[in-house]
């Protein structure tokens, strides 16, 4: 692939940036890529109706081609162009769109098979971010966009993180600052009898149950069973140094981290920790501050979600070679946080009773 100069355009005001949106929309229509912020994470966008443009997404990300893309739309007319909206999806969209949710629907013929990895269904998301919607409107087509990271890396929640992964591969990054939610959209399959959550996110099971009634139970994945959202089977969100989660009752958390940190140091390692503010303060005598990433006050799940990926990326150049992270309770938004943490850790969890 030819190396491109990657430009970052800071957008502080949508109205005064119309020339940039005109240009970005033209880049999309011409079949090239633009990275843009959403309220969840940054996306790597291409014309979702152009198979060749979408092929560039797979190339830039190093993404397996059987992993389908989701389409981002600005309005209802664009949804109807790409998919058949089921009754279940109507309710989800009425309650949560625009917002951090993706509905899986039967696709229409206009959507190329390359976008959906050959599936007969397509993921549709109407982002709440003004910048994302202005870009989609300027392009005039649904925008296919996965998270704008290299495949397997933590999703980017800042323009700088996109640049770190995509420099030289794409012409333009729209910079809208940090993403509000920080974890990718909740994916809800609305094609079956009961709605099924394929990926947890900021729209929680409880919120969905309120508008849909009973949902399909959470999948207990057997080894041989392929995940329903194809992307969930790949290694994900991994920081460069190996990560282990430490799951301990509050009163034992500090001791558990002390043991882990001392053990690592005895083995000649430089441990880094990703922890709540409270634990960071307690550990400050043991771990140098440059090897501590704070992801929020204990119990502040919104802050922890918003800072999660930046905390993982912080250690790309923070001189640590093993990482330990504090876990959260798996309820509400905590389900999405733990889903990403477990994948980032490749399943390594230390349980302390
Ligand atoms: O918040 C988000 O959803 C972000 C922002 C940029 O909008 N996008 C995002 O895209 O996370 P991506 O490609 O990183 O994750 C989409 C997930 C993948 O795991 C993919 O396998 C799954 O959605 N997916 C896409 N189409 C599907 C389909 N038709 N059926 C089941 N799963 C699908
Ligand atoms: Mg992704």
Q: Whose CA is nearest to atom 21 of ligand 1?
A: 231
For ligand 1, residues with CB inside 6 Å are 38, 40-41, 43, 67-70, 102, 104, 116, 119, 121-123, 125, 145-147, 184-185, 187, 198, 228-232
Q: Residue 229: nearest ligand to its CA?
A: 1
Rg (CA), the chain: 20
Q: Domain boundary at 194, 212, 230, which?
A: 212
Q: What span, in angstroms and rounded, lies between the C-alpha atoms of 276 and 253?
A: 11
Do residue 249 and residue 208 come from a single domain? Answer: no
pLDDT of residue 78: 97
**DSSP designation for 314:** H
Average pLDDT by consecutive 10-residue portion of the chain (353 residues)? 90 95 98 98 98 96 91 97 98 98 98 94 98 98 98 96 98 98 98 96 98 87 54 74 96 97 97 97 96 95 97 92 96 96 94 94
Do residue 73 and residue 185 come from a single domain? Answer: yes
Do residue 16 and residue 120 come from a single domain? Answer: yes
Do residue 90 and residue 200 come from a single domain? Answer: yes
What's CA 206's distance to the chain center, in Å?
20
Is 244 within 8 Å of 324 (Cβ atoms)? yes
Among 180, 158, 162, 181, residue whose Cα is nearest residue 171: 162
Phi, psi of 54 (to 5 degrees): -65, -30
Do residue 142 and residue 291 come from a single domain? Answer: no
pLDDT of residue 224: 42
Task: Check residue 111 and give left, alpha or beta (phi > 0: left; psi -120 to 50: alpha).
Answer: beta
CA dihedral 52, 56, 58, 59 (to 10 degrees): 130
Do residue 178 and residue 276 come from a single domain? Answer: no
pLDDT of residue 233: 63
Max Cα–Cα distance, the chain, nearest Å: 61
- CATH number for the domain spanning 95: value is 3.90.870.10
Is 175 within 8 Å of 37 (Cβ atoms)? yes
Q: Which of 60, 231, 306, 336 to mutate to test the pocket of ligand 1 (most atoms within 8 A of CB)?
A: 231
Among 69, 135, 64, 124, residue whose Cα is nearest residue 99: 124
pLDDT of residue 276: 97
Structural domain that includes position 317: 243-351
Do residue 200 and residue 77 come from a single domain? Answer: yes
pLDDT of residue 279: 97
Do residue 118 and residue 202 come from a single domain? Answer: yes
How many domains are there within the chain? 2
Within a domain: 56: yes
- CATH number for the domain spanning 256: value is 3.40.50.11030
pLDDT of residue 232: 65
């Amino acid at each position: 692939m030819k190396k491109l100069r990657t430009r970052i355009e800071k957008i502080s005001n949508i109205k005064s940036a119309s020339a940039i949106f005109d240009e970005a929309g033209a880049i999309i229509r011409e079949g090239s890529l633009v990275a843009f912020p959403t309220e969840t994470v940054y996306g790597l966008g291409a014309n979702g109706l152009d198979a060749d443009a979408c092929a560039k997404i797979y190339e830039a990300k190093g993404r397996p081609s059987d992993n389908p893309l989701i389409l981002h739309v600005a309005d209802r007319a664009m949804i109807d162009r790409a998919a058949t909206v089921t009754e279940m999806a109507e309710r989800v969209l009425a309650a949560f769109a625009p917002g951090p949710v993706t509905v899986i629907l039967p696709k229409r013929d206009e959507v190329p098979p390359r976008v959906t990895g050959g599936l007969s269904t397509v993921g549709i998301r109407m982002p709440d971010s003004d910048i994302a919607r202005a870009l989609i409107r300027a392009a005039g087509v649904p925008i296919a966009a996965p998270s704008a990271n290299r495949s397997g890396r933590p999703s980017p929640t800042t323009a700088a993180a996109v640049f770190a992964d995509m420099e030289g591969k794409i012409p333009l990054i729209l910079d809208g600052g940090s993403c509000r939610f920080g974890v990718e959209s909740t994916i809800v399959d609305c094609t079956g009898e009961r709605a099924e959550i394929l990926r947890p996110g900021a729209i929680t099971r409880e919120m969905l149950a309120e508008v849909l009634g009973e949902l399909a139970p959470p999948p207990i994945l057997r080894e041989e069973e392929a995940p329903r959202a194809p992307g969930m089977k790949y290694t994900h969100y991994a920081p460069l140094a190996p990560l282990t989660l430490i799951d301990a009752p509050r009163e034992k958390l500090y001791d558990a981290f002390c043991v882990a940190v001392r053990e690592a140091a005895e083995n000649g390692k430089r441990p880094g920790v990703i922890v709540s503010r409270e634990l960071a303060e307690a550990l400050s005598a043991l771990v140098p501050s440059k090897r501590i990433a704070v992801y929020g006050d204990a119990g502040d799940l919104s802050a922890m979600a918003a800072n999660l990926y930046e905390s993982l990326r912080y250690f790309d150049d923070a001189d640590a070679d093993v990482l330990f992270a504090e876990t959260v309770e798996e309820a509400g938004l905590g389900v999405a946080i733990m889903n990403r943490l477990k994948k980032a850790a490749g399943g390594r969890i230390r349980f302390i009773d």
